[in-house]
Structure formats: structure tokens, C-alpha cells
Amino acid sequence: MSSYSKIGKERLASLVNLVTNSLDLTKTQVRIRGGIFEELDNLRERYDQLDVLMGERLSELAEDIKCLPKFMHKVRMMMIPSVGYFTVVNKLDQAYLDFLNENLPKHESLKDSNDEDVIFETLLGDSLDKIGWKLCFMSESDIYF
């Protein structure tokens, strides 16, 4: 006797019907259809609105960044999956290099420092604190808040 006959045709058909009606198989990925699980529907709706919310947040940041050095006036939002959204500033811009060249000589303690985080925090820590920004990390090309 096969497993199929042990389950029963009606129960198996019911299970297949439930799965088929719950999943959206028309895309390249399997997705649970809307209306099946309310919490998932709410999360999906919030996720779909994130780009709009991030655009609004960038507009709000325009006032904050006025007190920061010129190289930080061009910000963008970046989403890193499983980590979150960051405000990002490009540090390959000439304005960043000009800022360093102008400000590093004013700080004797940074003269021999190669620690970019320490340099950045020393030069901008107070300004960032005033607007509530926190340096998260740096890459070769960007600064993430």
C-alpha cells in the first residue's frame, strides 16, 4: 500500500488545494498570497513603503546636514539586507580630502594616526552628536551612519 492511499484522496486533494491557493507561483520566487496571514501582509505593506519613507527621511536630513562639513552635504540612504538602513556619505569626493587636509594639521594628536575611525570621531564627533548621528562603520569608499 502506497503512502498516497494511506492519506486518502480527499485529504490529499484538500492539502494540495490549500497549498496551491496560499502560494503565488507566478513569479520567480514562491510567495504567500495576501490575505492568508495578516501579520505577513502588514510587514509586506511596511516593506513596500520603505523607499518612500527613506526619501522623506533624506529630505528631513537636509536641515541637519547644514551644520556639517561640505563633504557631508551629499548623503544617500542605503539598505544592507539583514542589517538595516544607513545614511551614507561618500569619502572619495574631493570635498572629503579637502576637509582632511584642512583639519588634520590642527590636531597634533592625529598626526601619526592611521585609524580612520579615531580621526573621523575626533574631527566630527561633536557635530555628529548635535544632530544625533552615530558613526557605524567605514568602507574604502563610504562612511555609514
pLDDT in tens, 96-117: 999 999 999 999 888 888 889 8
Confidence of residue 25 (pLDDT cuts 50, 70, 90): low
- Angle of the 116-131 helix axis to the 94-103 helix axis, nearest 10: 100
Domain boundary assignment for the chain:
3-47, 50-144
- Angle of the 50-64 helix axis to the 38-48 helix axis, nearest 10: 40
Cβ-based burial of 48 (10 A; exposed 0-12, middle 13-18, buried ≥19): exposed
What is the pLDDT at residue 5?
56
Of all residues in the chain, what percent carry a pLDDT higher than 90? 34
What is the pLDDT at residue 23?
73
pLDDT digits 0-9 by tens, 29-73: 777 888 988 998 999 898 888 888 888 888 888 888 888 999 999
Distance CA(37)–CA(39), nearest Å, equals: 6
Distance CA(41)–CA(62), nearest Å, equals: 33
Q: Average model confidence (pLDDT) for the chain?
A: 86
